[in-house]
Structure formats: C-alpha cells, structure tokens
Chain A
Amino acid sequence: MAKRPLTLIARRAPYGGDGARQTLDIAFAAAVFERDVRYLFIGDGVYQLLRGQDTAGIAAKPHVAALETLELYGIETVYVLKSALNERGIEPSELALAATLVDEAQLQTLIEGGGPIINL
C-alpha cells in the first residue's frame, strides 16, 4: 500500500519562534523516508517564503535558504493560500519558491485529501 501523503501546515512567521524550522525539519525527515509531503503555507507562514531574507542582525540562519533546498528532497512545489498573501500585501513574485496558489476551497480539498496532518 502506498504511504499516505503527509500534510504540513506552516502558519508561523520564520523568526521569533522555532515553529517554522520545526515544520521544515519534519518535511526533510519525511522526504528522506520517501513519503510524499504536501507543504501548505497559510497565515503568517507565508512570510517564510519571502526572498531576500537578511538575518545578519538576529543570530539566525535565513529560513528561506533552507526552504529552497526542499526541491533537492523532491518537494518541488509548495501550496500558498492566496488570501494570506493579499492580506499581507505580498505579491507572488516576491516568493522565493515555486508556489501553487490556492483559495480556501482548494486548501480544504488538500487538507481533506487523506493522510496525517501536522500543524505546528
């Protein structure tokens, strides 16, 4: 039986807490164990995807640089809630990763698609 995909919901901004990194580490581990990952970015989670993050002043590694390695792990697209971008004044062109923009109904379909969900 094929393994069910793992759905990860990233809803936190990249810095100020470790939720963003924790979710990403689970994505890497899942990929290493050859499980399909659906990576959804909603709410403040969309800030994780902004290109040009400069963390020189905050003793942190740029989160987006780690996200950009997802492709090497076979996670080639991420799903981004369109309204979360609009609410924050972010254009899709400002995102560093190949992103599939989804509306609320499509997000619901992805979440309901079966398989476990981890939402940190």
Chain B
Amino acid sequence: MADSAQPALRYLVIVNAAPQSSEAALSAYRFATALLDQGHSIEQLFFYGDGAHNASAVTVMPQDEPNLPALWHALIEEHAITSTACVSSAIRRGIVDETESNRHELNAITCYPSSEIGGLGQLIAALDSAERVISFG
C-alpha cells in the first residue's frame, strides 16, 4: 500500500530500450513492479522505439537469464495494465498482432496479446490522465 504520507499516483511509463542490449528495460520493469507494490498505478505502459521488443512473444532467452517480455506480459495481465507498443516502432521490428500481420501479409503473430499495437495518440492521451511521466532508455 502507498505510504499514508504519499498519495497513490498514476504513472505513464515509457520504455524506449530493448530487453537484451542495455539495462534500461530491466530497470523499467523493476520500477514498474516497485511502484505497483507501493500502491501506485500505471495509467499507461508505452513501448516505444527499441522498447517494442518488450512486447515480443517470440523472444527466447537462456534459462539463467530473465525473459523480460514474458515478465512484462505477466505483470500487465496481473495488474490489468493498459500496455501499447507504438505501431511504427513495432512493425519495423517484426512485432505484429493479428491486425498488422494480416495488413502486411506476414503469416505470423509475434506480439503478446497483453499489449496492443497502437499509435502515439495513446501516449499523448495518457499525458492528461497520468500524474507522473517516466521514461527509460
């Protein structure tokens, strides 16, 4: 629960780094977990640029390394977080849902269903409803 001296806050969390090439995405995940543990909420999780890889359902990691996309997927489901991967970032990186897969005739779905593929309008809309904005990467 939130500290009684600190009101619960709604966050917009922007993840702009891939899980595999820097610590930023892992830091974002840890931050998200910590703020939820403390009673705050995530108004919008937004995967942007290389961050789109965090929504990849086809990432395979060695067993002794964290599979961040799988961790995000579980966290998003558990807390019913609104999660969006930027469409122009995602399709460049092969992260597609059924709609984008059909649109581009790709014969593959690679995005976790817990994240939607959406536009920057989602990010801009969340600026109005979130009380804090933080970006990683």
- Specify which chain B residues have a CB less than 8 angstroms from the CB of A28 in the assembled complex: 120
Cβ–Cβ contact A29 & B49, under 8 A? no
Chain A interface residue count, CB cutoff 8 Å, equals 19
Cβ–Cβ contact A118 & B133, under 8 A? yes
Cβ–Cβ contact A29 & B119, under 8 A? yes
Cβ–Cβ contact A33 & B14, under 8 A? no
Residues of B1-33 at the interface with A, using a CB-CB cut-off of 8 Å, are: 12, 14, 16
If A22-B48, A22-B49, A120-B16 touch, whether A30 touches B135 (CB-CB below 8 Å) is no
Cβ–Cβ contact A117 & B121, under 8 A? no
- Specify which chain A residues have a CB less than 8 angstroms from the CB of B50 in the assembled complex: 18
Question: How close is A34's CB to chain B, nearest CB, in angstroms?
Answer: 10
Q: Is A60 an interface residue (CB 8 A)?
A: no
If A117-B133, A120-B16 touch, whether A30 touches B124 (CB-CB below 8 Å) is yes
Q: Is B95 an interface residue (CB 8 A)?
A: no
Q: What is the predominant secondary structure among interface residues of chain A facing chain B?
A: mixed
- Specify which chain B residues have a CB less than 8 angstroms from the CB of A19 in the assembled complex: 16, 49
Q: Is B91 an interface residue (CB 8 A)?
A: no
What is the CA–CA distance of A4 and B124 in the complex, to the nearest angstrom? 12
Q: Is B128 an interface residue (CB 8 A)?
A: yes
Question: How close is A14's CB to chain B, nearest CB, in angstroms?
Answer: 15
What is the CA–CA distance of A118 and B124 in the complex, to the nearest angstrom? 11
- Specify which chain A residues have a CB less than 8 angstroms from the CB of B137 in the assembled complex: 120
What is the CA–CA distance of A29 and B118 in the complex, to the nearest angstrom? 13
- Specify which chain B residues have a CB less than 8 angstroms from the CB of A18 in the assembled complex: 49-50
For residue A28, which residue of chain B has the nearest CB? B120
Q: Is A35 an interface residue (CB 8 A)?
A: yes
Q: Which residues from chain A sit less than 8 Å from chain B, CB to CB?
A: 3-4, 6, 18-19, 22, 25-26, 28-30, 32-33, 35, 116-120
Ranked nearest first, the 4 interchain pairs of A and B with the lowest CB-CB distance are A29-B120, A116-B133, A33-B124, A116-B127
